[in-house]
Amino acid sequence: MGFSTLELDPLEPGILRLTINRPKALNALSPEVIAELEEAVAAIAADAALRVLLVTGAGEKAFVAGADIAAMSQMTPLEGREFSNRALAVFRSLELLPIPVIALVNGYALGGGCELAMACDWIIASDKAQFGQPEVNLGICPGFGGTQRLTRLVGRARALELVCTGRQVKAEEAYALGLVNHVVPAADLLAKGLEQARLIAAKGPVAVKYAKHLVQRGQDLDLDNACQLEADVFGLLCATEDKAEGMRAFLEKRPAKFSGR
Ligand code: DAK
């Protein structure tokens, strides 16, 4: 698959890295990036051999510095609507991929870049990372789900402060806010991502897939219905070879060999 703004690198069996690759524009999300992301995410969703996706930005300075301001400045209302709808849909598809998606934030994650990171399942930040929703500086509000995902991650008051002031936060503060799960030295970012990806890849594929499904789909349900969904999925997993193998391996005091069935 040939892309001009993305790179897809299979790093290890089951572990793929997707890099937004426009370093001269700090990896800003142009309509072309969004169109290529759409294609890439669809291909990733269809690849049953994949276990974990790592998402990062090219170069040392930025993860993604936002939606492309130069492109947005030229958009007609209809083009703006199309751009926004496509980006919202592709972020949602990324979020609902049947495998865990980890953002490796190596620098600026601003505006649409912060929103892209938040559409991943969790964020590992380098100590050089910087997060923010600076759209109010441009006379607009976040448009790729930032007001909603940030609120779910850090709570209403903290989200409101960041969205209304446009204030940027460094990695340590983002960690304290609950926006990122880990902060590591910049040189260790990929290693930390791989460490977590390998842990996941060693687990039962069906179990990981449905655990993610439950968290992503359950969080917007009321507790009773969400817990019922969990019980239903648990029942479903009882029919898998992976469950039989995982429990047999425990009882036989040996590592499990999961087949993903
Ligand atoms: N878009 C386009 N180009 C960008 C960019 C961006 N977001 N950010 C940086 N660049 C480009 C710069 O223009 C510059 O290009 P050249 O001049 O070299 O051609 C190059 O990247 C290097 O940037 P700087 O020279 O500015 O580098 P500095 O180190 O001085 O500053 C910076 C780095 C990240 C602090 C600065 O570049 C910056 O402030 N960038 C903009 C950050 C920002 O405001 N991001 C949010 C963008 S708005 C919506 C839909 C979508 C959205 C909103 C609403 N609706 C449907 C309602 C999304 C909005 C956004 O994401």
- The token pair at 208 is 């990981």
Is the CB of residue 51 less than 8 Å from the CB of residue 14?
Answer: yes
Contact 107, 81 (CB under 8 A): no
Residue 216 pLDDT exceeds 90: yes
* CATH architecture for the domain at 205-251: Orthogonal Bundle (1.10)
Query: Is the dihedral angle over the CA atoms 160, 165, 171, 172 positive or is it negative?
Result: negative
135 catalytic residue (yes or no): yes
User: Could you read off the pLDDT of 61-101 as tens digits, one per residue?
Assistant: 999 999 999 999 999 999 989 999 999 999 999 999 999 99
Contact 121, 142 (CB under 8 A): no
**Three-class DSSP labels, 140-171:** CCCCCCHHHHHHHHHCHHHHHHHHHHCCCEEH
Going by C-beta distance under 8 Å and a sequence separation of 6 or more, which residues neighbour residue 151? 159, 160
Q: Domain boundaries in the chain? A: 6-201, 205-251
Residues 240-246, mean pLDDT to the nearest whole number? 97
The residue among 111, 89, 106, 104 whose CA lies nearest residue 45 is: 89
Give residue 1's pLDDT band: very low, low, confident or very high (50, 70, 90).
Answer: confident
77 CA distance to ligand 1 middle (Å): 20
| DSSP tag of 25 | G
Residue 30 phi, psi (nearest 5): -85, 170
Tell me how far the alpha carbon of residue 54 lies from the centroid of ligand 1, in angstroms: 23
Cβ distance 27 to 113 under 8 Å? yes
From the candidates 60, 135, 172, 245, give the one annotated as an active-site residue. Answer: 135
Where do we find the tokens 């969400």?
226
> In terms of Cα–Cα distance, which of 110, 100, 92 is closest to 179?
110
This prediction's pTM: 0.96
Q: Is 107 in the pocket of ligand 1 (CB under 6 A)?
A: no
Which residues, at least 6 apart from 170, have a Cβ–Cβ distance to it below 8 Å? 129, 130
The whole-number pLDDT of residue 246 equals 96
Tell me the pLDDT of the chain averaged across its residues. 97
- In the CATH hierarchy, which fold is given to the domain comprising 6-201? 2-enoyl-CoA Hydratase; Chain A, domain 1 (3.90.226)
The pair of three-digit structure tokens given for residue 237, joined into one six-digit string: 């997993």
Q: For a ligand 1 pocket test, name from 24, 26, 105 the mutation site with the most ligand atoms within 8 angstroms of its C-beta.
A: 26
Helices (H) and strands (E) in the chain, counts: 11, 10
Q: Using alpha carbons only, give the angle 19, 20, 24 rounded to the nearest 5 degrees.
A: 125
- Over residues 167-181, the mean pLDDT reads 98
Q: What average pLDDT does the segment 128-148 reach?
A: 96
Query: Which residue's CA is the closest to the ligand 1 atom numbered 36?
Result: 65
Phi first, then psi: what are they for 80, rounded to 5°? -60, -40
Name the residue type at position 155. Answer: G
Q: What are phi and psi of 100, to 5 degrees?
A: -65, 140
Q: Which bin fits 260, alpha (ψ -120 to 50), beta or left (φ > 0)?
A: left
In tens, the pLDDT along 23-53 reads: 999 999 999 999 999 999 999 999 999 999 9
